[in-house]
Amino acid sequence: MSKRVTSFDVAALAGVSQSAVSRVFSGASASKDTADKVRRAATKLGYRPNVLARSLITGRSRIIGLVVAYLGNPFYPDALERFSRMLQAEGYHTLVFTLAEGATDADADRVIQQMLDHQVDGIVLASVGLGDALARRCDTAGIPVVLFNRGQEGSGLAQVTSANREGGRKVAEFLVAGGHERIGHVSGWQGSSTGRDRTRGFLDELEALGHAVVGVEDGRYDHAAAIDATQRLVDAGVDALFVGNDHMAFAVLDHLRSELGLSVPGDVSVVGYDDVPMASFAGYDLTTVRQPVGRMVKTTVAALIEQIEDKTAQAGIIEIDGPLILRGSARIPEGLR
Amino acid sequence: MSKRVTSFDVAALAGVSQSAVSRVFSGASASKDTADKVRRAATKLGYRPNVLARSLITGRSRIIGLVVAYLGNPFYPDALERFSRMLQAEGYHTLVFTLAEGATDADADRVIQQMLDHQVDGIVLASVGLGDALARRCDTAGIPVVLFNRGQEGSGLAQVTSANREGGRKVAEFLVAGGHERIGHVSGWQGSSTGRDRTRGFLDELEALGHAVVGVEDGRYDHAAAIDATQRLVDAGVDALFVGNDHMAFAVLDHLRSELGLSVPGDVSVVGYDDVPMASFAGYDLTTVRQPVGRMVKTTVAALIEQIEDKTAQAGIIEIDGPLILRGSARIPEGLR
DNA sequence: CCGAGTCTTGCATAGGTGTGCAACGAACGC
DNA sequence: GCGTTCGTTGCACACCTATGCAAGACTCGG
């Protein structure tokens, strides 16, 4: 390993000052002539600017902290992959932090501190399960934050979600149009805004259509809890279930078919939320509301970068609408066939 | 936002020199007395050492580059989550790079350069799909590298995989014991060591038991390719299939049941490889060889850190054995019930 | 031909830490 | 009491780049 080549080495070979080299590589103004000389010398020596030194002085690391709780729900790996790719394209990099669901405030503080230590330029909080405290602390630290797939009322933080209430509404409309009479709901975690919003949109629309809900059980975005909830709703005699996300819906389908021997959608229709890749597998073939991950990620990145580059940028609340994807797990109304 | 507090501020308040502060926080020797004074002043001011400055001077960033190709196969998100958590526990952080499967050497170089720019202390290459060129370049750059779930013959690089040949062998033994007569194989990508090794172990054992294979088709770890392969093997009349990983096995199961109307394991037994969480879902209930992700990740991290801390450490090849998990997708021999 | 204005360039310094070196004091053996 | 050794501390510098400032080069209109 040879010694690391610095901007001074390049300057010496090119016959200019170190500042000239710096200016060429940081995009500042420089004459065509010197720029050429510098570039030639740089490639000859294999020079690359030292990111650490650069960050140290500019105070900008071009690193984004991505906090995520649980990658078992395939929606998040998908998002993570897109975040990494998109940030890479924008010249940023992704430092991943995992924070278990049951994390205490002390854990959250530790993660925040570590992100501060690395001087991340911005933070994406990508998990419903992450407590409000974390978001507040990020914001207090003066670092741009965007909540991804997660809202927080009145926090003033930027947030990008799908149109959860509208999505819930669509499902209600669809199930009623399908002629279902005893509709139940395995909700997403009611401690999260996504869970609450989907539930509210669903229930509001049911009411507007003159239908009562047979029962609402909190599945807490958890496999086992969803199965318990399903059991209770089946006991109550449902003929349709709206499940708060696909991850739970798979558990629900398995339980209905394998444990209870019920036919889907013959005995019970099931509708999920997310449209993760697996939802289209023939084994599940799940009717579900699509969260347009690509657009959500793109929007999140754009919002974050805007905040980074212009500290006065207003933090907005952005909802992205997604369609209901019709598949085989729920009876389809005549008019839509 | 107040100004950032530096070691000089702490030194002034504690009545010592800046070097004393540095020594206290970097674990060098210092008297109990000064250490106390420094710590008190530090907490009072809320001081934390600047990681960038520290990395700049020591040349160690305490950041690990994790290169991953495709998170659609749920084995990798699982591994990623564990890597992040485990590295965090060891005081390292995870910078994620995605490299599409069809990435060119130029793409690979770009990623390498970016990792070098950030002075990562080590690199984990966690994807079968990543070309050999990338691994070589990482190594040439003089940065510790460990291949995760991916081998490379004669490269001299450290690598951690499961015992793929032994795994393939177990499957052959199991299927033969189950009385299957027409055994086929949808292989993992034959361009990867994992794919080749599983296939080789499987075929060697079949031969040793006096069985011929009906057919071997390369599924290339790809959904669509696996379905094509399955179709050809079904046409050839198989009564059992060993599929190169779970991700493909799900596609195979769906195709067999939904498209071809076959019963599993009545008409065809299916065995996968990985034991991703989804394999235990009732909808698939897949018999499969477990890759012990937890131990694989732990081993990888340990090997990497050893290389980082002792540059002369020998890079070894480590294989971790995993059991065959018996579920409902393959006929179980009498003796094992 | 001159003055004003614009672009370019080098000098010097900042950014915050780790560490070699030398000095210093204390402890200790004789 | 003196020489030696060892642990502690401060000084100064290194790490590598970006940038304010001032001076120089250059353009252009009158």
Q: Kindly state the percentage of chain A with pLDDT values over 70.
A: 97
Mean pLDDT of A110-134: 83
Distance from CA of B112 to the nearest CA of A (A): 12
Give the distance, in angstroms, between residue A116 CA and nucleotide C24 C1'. 39
| One fold for A63-162+293-320 and A164-291+324-336 | yes
Q: Around A11, how many Cα atoms within 13 Å sit in the side-chain half-sphere?
A: 14
CA distances from B142 to A22, A188, B115, B139, B157 (A): 26, 48, 12, 5, 12
Domain positions in chain B: 7-49, 63-162+293-320, 164-291+324-336
Nucleotide nearest to B19 (CA to C1'): D10
Whether nucleic acid strand D comes within 7 Å of the CB of A60, the answer is: no
- Interface probe with A: pick from B6, B60, B97, B98, most Cβ of A within 10 Å: B98
Chain B residues with CB under 8 Å of A80 CB are 71, 77, 80, 96
pLDDT of residue A1: 45
Q: What is the pLDDT of residues B87-107, one digit of tens each?
A: 999 999 999 999 877 777 778
Whether the pLDDT of residue A254 is over 70: the answer is yes
Among B56, B255, B284, the residue with its CB nearest the CB of A52 is: B56
Q: How many CB atoms lie within 10 A of CB B27?
A: 7
Instruction: Residue A122: name the closest of A82, A62, A69, A77 by CA.
Output: A62
Polymer length in residues for chain A: 337
The CATH number fitting domain A63-162+293-320, selected from 3.40.640.10, 3.50.50.60, 3.40.50.2000, 3.40.50.2300:
3.40.50.2300
pLDDT of residue B33: 85
Whether nucleic acid strand C comes within 7 Å of the CB of A23, the answer is: yes
Q: A107-111, A288-292, A313-317: which has the highest mean pLDDT? A: A288-292
How far apart are the C-alpha atoms of B146 and B65, rounded to whole Å?
A: 11
The CATH number fitting domain A164-291+324-336, selected from 3.30.365.10, 3.40.50.150, 3.40.1110.10, 3.40.50.2300:
3.40.50.2300
Give the distance, in angstroms, between residue A127 CA and nucleotide D24 C1'. 57
Higher-confidence position of B99 and A302: A302
Q: What is the DSSP letter of B182?
A: S
> What order of strands is seen across the sheet that includes strand B183-187?
B215-218, B183-187, B240-243, B269-274, B287-290, B324-325
